[in-house]
Structure 1
């Protein structure tokens, strides 16, 4: 029998029962639902709304239900619309009238909002931990291959030489920003709606500050209408997941390219590769491709909830039943991608010789040759044109800048001297980038310390249960 059956003369059809049920999704929130009910019952007893004996029976009954769910003994009734009805129905069957008193002073509207916020906080913590694990893997590879040089790209064309460690650290800073977004999503969820009832509060003398403390929330939500209808915190969570998934997609795109025969910069571990059913020689970066592909799924979860919330009037509407599946999916997908990426990064083999071989192609010293002239008084725009002529000469001859003779340089400008050869040394070119945030060895050492320090700091900022 439905909780609201008193008003109706007939029940819903089998189809509409199934269509309207959220139990297949929100059963994952059983632990949060039970925690919220325990806090609510204890508060009701303290406020004299129910007896202490009833509160003790409720707590014991809920503990037994949680145990039975975790051990796979609990039977979910197909007629239960949601996790709240499933738990309360069994509780009442087990302990009698005390179970029926549990719902005093609350509605499923504030109950589900409480469950969802508790769940969002937990998943934010999980994701923050997985985020830092991936950053550890990136920093470790950067440390182990600190001096390796590879070509830096713009427009996917060779641009300037950079340290491989510098390249990997760029992703640690993206992930550090992702950590901030996850922390902001946690803060957004850290507010207590319990006690707001359906939309207007209740006439019972509830102590919302007590349940706030008991459930570990930062504060009670001050407006009951907003409390039951707000899903911004889920949008914040899925947005954080979407941006981080996009960052992982970028990282995996590069790993996919680097692992090709054309690049040959890295070899992925067998544990993070697959073969072909027809081509025996193949070693495919399938898991990097999956991470790249799953970004679309997570971004889709964000768009779905944004559209669901669009135009909803206050307060609660059944549309909001659609809020949880996308959030659950986005969080689980991102966590899985973090775990997979961390394993893939930590086990891949780096090939410094292949990276250096490519760095010696594509005239990567061109900017430094222009700087050479500019430091000798030539306006940079003019120096840019001079070096452009030299590159064109190389293209016609099929050689690189370092293959040109001093006379070739002097034919373009008398400012060139014999020391121009030092401007063509890739190691020197990289080392010269000493500005803060640059790719020079000294700058990257400082950056490495900052990235490691930020990682240690963030690990200390992960909220505790």
Structure 2
């Protein structure tokens, strides 16, 4: 019995030793995305170790030379490892010998991976920002071309009031502008260096965290070492900002799908497809996928939030599962934004069709009620007159008859018939709505100017951020070359 039990114990141990747990723990394949980032972080850390006299220059030179060789060979050539960080260190040691392990002095994989994630996410967010600027530019161009193109406006998908194509496009430009602002704000909190926080309790070595932050292009250092290594709120904030952008895109896509269905917009063939069996159909497929991305992004926010919820300080392996939510979201939303921009830029707006539809459903009713109110009637009474007219024909005669019924006197007592006729005309109705932010061409021109100014300012901000990273990269390369 005892011997059988012992044999069974050996079999059981053999079965589970070095088994699926190793592959389950490994993130090496997924870490390909941060391969380049890890090499840069290794370089900056090694340069700092040399400058602080912690590792001698010759050894640092050998380490940096090995890192260059590893970069040339690529991620696929790395030895097996639990993650890309361990695999790169192993590859350095294979080339340099045991002294290659000195590259890991005064740091942990905890602060290393946090730095790599931030380093790569910065680039992804800058690319996403660039796509928002492209979409805003496309929306502005359409607005400039169609400041006087009257179209129907809807609430609850019912004809509501006439507007212009420019007014519609600038409504989305305003929303995407805020999405840009949210991403810029998220970028500022991404661009802080956790390197040097070590596992979570700092290090006994006299390192220079400000120096590695400078070499890697970070604006500042995350002061508290525990916060530096373990926090992932920057991932959540970025994913949330991307989800909000995806929601904006979803609304834009839905509007265009509905407009295409009603013949109000003609989508380019590059952003539509035909049916495999029904040759007459032109389907807004790409917009439908743009619309769907919002669901994916919202799911990523929920998944990431749930992963992070209730995690104790400091590092926990759960965090390995957190990052993919951000990577998948930034890729999907960036692509969706590019598609939305292309769709808007290449679409045609049939002005005659839009003009004919602009007055459908008595969409100028509010303008008539406003006119009556401006000439002395209480607005609620004017609303009642026009509501009765809407049920009887929605023209001048119906309005006059309703006025006689409600007021007991002629409509002409309050307003000139020509003024009512003008209020009933969609183009005149739009022109009369020249208050701040309204659809009248004069009001839209003001909005368009503001949109272009904001776009130019954000383009400058993006260029400055990109230039800052490029300068840091060149500085680090120069320092590395001094040792290699």
Same fold (TM over 0.5): yes
Cα–Cα, structure 1 residues 10 and 82, in superposed 2: closer, same or farther, change >3 Å? farther
Residue-by-residue CA offset, 1:222-261 (whole Å, 9 max, x unaligned): 111111110011111101110000000000001111111x
Aligned equivalent of 2:457: 457
Aligned equivalent of 1:249: 250
Shift in Å at residue 459 of structure 1? 0.5
How many residue pairs get aligned? The number is: 446
Gaps of 5+ in 1: 1-8, 395-399
In 1: Cα distance, 2:88 partner to 2:176 partner:
39
In 2: Cα distance, 1:266 partner to 1:322 partner:
43
What value does the CA root-mean-square deviation take over the aligned residues?
1.8
Which runs of structure 2 are paired with 1:302-321 in the superposition (5 Å)? Answer: 302-321=301-320
Instruction: State the secondary structure of the residue aligned to 1:266.
Output: coil
Aligned equivalent of 2:361: 362
Which runs of structure 2 are paired with 1:282-293 in the superposition (5 Å)? Answer: 282-293=281-292
In 2: Cα distance, 1:235 partner to 1:408 partner:
57
From the two aligned structures, give the one with the greater helix fraction: 2
Query: Could you state the TM-score of these two structures normalised by the residue count of structure 2?
Result: 0.89
1:100 equivalent to 2:94? Answer no
Which runs of structure 2 are paired with 1:252-401 in the superposition (5 Å)? Answer: 252-260=253-261, 263-394=262-393, 400-401=394-395
In 1: Cα distance, 2:459 partner to 2:332 partner:
21
In 1: Cα distance, 2:442 partner to 2:405 partner:
36
In 2: Cα distance, 1:391 partner to 1:202 partner:
77
In 2: Cα distance, 1:46 partner to 1:299 partner:
45
Residue-by-residue CA offset, 1:415-450 (whole Å, 9 max, x unaligned): 243222122121111111111111111110000000
Which of residues 15, 20, 35 in structure 2 aligns to 1:15?
Answer: 20
Shift in Å at residue 108 of structure 1? 0.3
Shift in Å at residue 412 of structure 1? 5.0
In 2: Cα distance, 1:210 partner to 1:321 partner:
27
Aligned equivalent of 2:11: none
Aligned equivalent of 1:6: none
Instruction: State the secondary structure of the residue aligned to 1:160.
Output: strand
Shift in Å at residue 190 of structure 1? 1.3
In 1: Cα distance, 2:16 partner to 2:121 partner:
34
Instruction: State the secondary structure of the residue aligned to 1:439.
Output: coil
Residue-by-residue CA offset, 1:374-427 (whole Å, 9 max, x unaligned): 111111111111111111112xxxxx4257585665555522432221221211
Instruction: State the secondary structure of the residue aligned to 1:22.
Output: coil
Shift in Å at residue 31 of structure 1? 1.1
Aligned equivalent of 1:61: 66
Cα–Cα, structure 1 residues 401 and 67, in superposed 2: closer, same or farther, change >3 Å? farther
Q: Indicate conservation of the 8 Å contact 1:269/1:347, yes or no.
A: yes
Aligned equivalent of 1:85: 86
Shift in Å at residue 11 of structure 1? 9.1
Which of residues 50, 53, 63 in structure 1 aligns to 2:55?
Answer: 50
Which runs of structure 2 are paired with 1:191-202 in the superposition (5 Å)? Answer: 191-202=192-203
Q: Indicate conservation of the 8 Å contact 1:406/1:417, yes or no.
A: no
Instruction: State the secondary structure of the residue aligned to 2:152.
Output: strand
Shift in Å at residue 97 of structure 1? 2.8
Residue-by-residue CA offset, 1:345-391 (whole Å, 9 max, x unaligned): 11111111221121121111111111121111111111111111111
Which runs of structure 2 are paired with 1:1-12 in the superposition (5 Å)? Answer: none
In 2: Cα distance, 1:29 partner to 1:407 partner:
73
Instruction: State the secondary structure of the residue aligned to 1:259.
Output: helix
Residue-by-residue CA offset, 1:276-301 (whole Å, 9 max, x unaligned): 12212121111000010111111111
Shift in Å at residue 322 of structure 1? 0.9
Which runs of structure 2 are paired with 1:398-413 in the superposition (5 Å)? Answer: 400-401=394-395, 404=398, 413=407
Q: Indicate conservation of the 8 Å contact 2:48/2:208, yes or no.
A: yes
Aligned equivalent of 1:150: 151
Q: Indicate conservation of the 8 Å contact 1:252/1:292, yes or no.
A: yes
Q: Indicate conservation of the 8 Å contact 1:36/1:115, yes or no.
A: yes
Query: Could you state the TM-score of these two structures normalised by the residue count of structure 1?
Result: 0.93
Instruction: State the secondary structure of the residue aligned to 1:429.
Output: helix
Aligned equivalent of 2:474: none
Cα–Cα, structure 1 residues 285 and 304, in superposed 2: closer, same or farther, change >3 Å? same
Q: Indicate conservation of the 8 Å contact 1:410/1:416, yes or no.
A: no
Aligned equivalent of 2:77: 75
Q: Indicate conservation of the 8 Å contact 1:55/1:98, yes or no.
A: no
Instruction: State the secondary structure of the residue aligned to 1:159.
Output: strand
Cα–Cα, structure 1 residues 387 and 404, in superposed 2: closer, same or farther, change >3 Å? closer
Aligned equivalent of 1:166: 167
1:227 equivalent to 2:232? Answer no
In 2: Cα distance, 1:306 partner to 1:91 partner:
36
1:24 equivalent to 2:56? Answer no
Instruction: State the secondary structure of the residue aligned to 2:434.
Output: coil
